[in-house]
Amino acid sequence: MKLKKALNNNVVLAKTDTHQEVVVFGSGISFKLKPGDPIDESKISKVFTLQTRDISMKLANLLKEVPVEYVEIAQDIISYASNKMNVSISDYTILTLTDHIYFAIKRYQQGEQIRNVLLWEAKKFYKTEFEIGLKALEIVKGKTGIAFDEDEAGFIALHLVNTQVEGNEIDKTIKITNIVQDILGIIKYHFKMDFDEDSWNYGRLVTHLKFFAQRIIAKDRIDNEEDDLFNQVNHKYPEAFECVKRIETYVLNGYGTQITHAEMVYLVLHIARVTSRNKY
């Protein structure tokens, strides 16, 4: 195995003898090495074999911001989930789940608690994934000492759902796609920006919008229990909030549905994130 690129002292991109690109972890593994040098395999603690170079590079970019410990947590969760469900989980999930866990822990440390408005749905419709989410909380606590509540188990469950499930009803799928595209258009127009469609922030926004669109079509209404957080995000993210007010008008006029404060809170948070971190 030879070094391709050192990301830091403990993480490198490497090529195997069969020319497969891998991400390799180990204490001091890149010390004094240059591209093309052989890697001391006795220093290797973990190897991530990813399907495509694109995923490898995204993971490399993510590791510039996120400590490797969070990747290891995500990998442990994915390994457990894959065995539990007996399915192959997309490599892309390691990116989205690592990113999610990292920011969930940051929010926890800053005292920001976010209620999962899809918790009931996760428990009712995705029982296996939710059980895995609960196991994931045990893994996170074992690694970090942080004890999340069930809301976080629901968020992790929905990450796993998104790796497997796509709607099979063509009419419903078309409607959902139209709603998602319309809302993306509103965001794009409001912020006068183009999305980086390869970024995981964009991917997470689209995932949220798919669930949001499903609720619009089904006329499901999320209970309005986020007034305090609603006022906080209104103050903290005024541009994203103004954008959500446009989305509210679109949904009301087009589908006769009033968006609750709880729905608006999560739209604001996703939009604020993708418009501030869209350059990955």
Percent of the chain with pLDDT over 90: 29
Degrees, nearest 5: CA angle 146-147-152 = 110
Lowest mean pLDDT among 80-94, 200-214, 222-236, 240-254: 222-236
Q: Does residue 191 surpass a pLDDT of 70?
A: yes
Distance between CA 242 and CA 244 in Å, rounded?
5
Tell me how far CA of residue 8 lies from CA of 29, 66, 85, 122, 238, in angstroms: 9, 12, 34, 38, 37
What average pLDDT does the segment 242-259 reach? 94
Q: What is the pLDDT of residues 11-49, one digit of tens each?
A: 788 888 888 778 887 888 888 899 999 998 888 877 777
Q: Does residue 194 surpass a pLDDT of 70?
A: yes
pTM over 0.75: no
Q: Does residue 171 surpass a pLDDT of 70?
A: no
225 pLDDT tier (thresholds 50, 70, 90): low
**Mean model confidence pLDDT for the chain:** 83
Q: Does residue 227 surpass a pLDDT of 60?
A: yes
Order of strands across the sheet that contains 46-49: 2-8, 11-15, 21-25, 46-49
What average pLDDT does the segment 158-181 reach? 68
pLDDT of 105 reads 93
Q: Does residue 104 surpass a pLDDT of 70?
A: yes
pLDDT of 132 reads 96
Phi-psi region of 86 (alpha: psi -120 to 50; beta: other; left: phi over 0): left
User: What are 3's strand-pairing partners?
Assistant: 14
The alpha carbon dihedral of 40, 42, 44, 49 has a sign of: positive
pLDDT of 166 reads 45
Lowest mean pLDDT among 106-110, 153-157, 228-232: 228-232
Question: How many other C-beta atoms lie within 10 A of the C-beta of residue 209?
Answer: 21
Tokens of 193: 């920006």
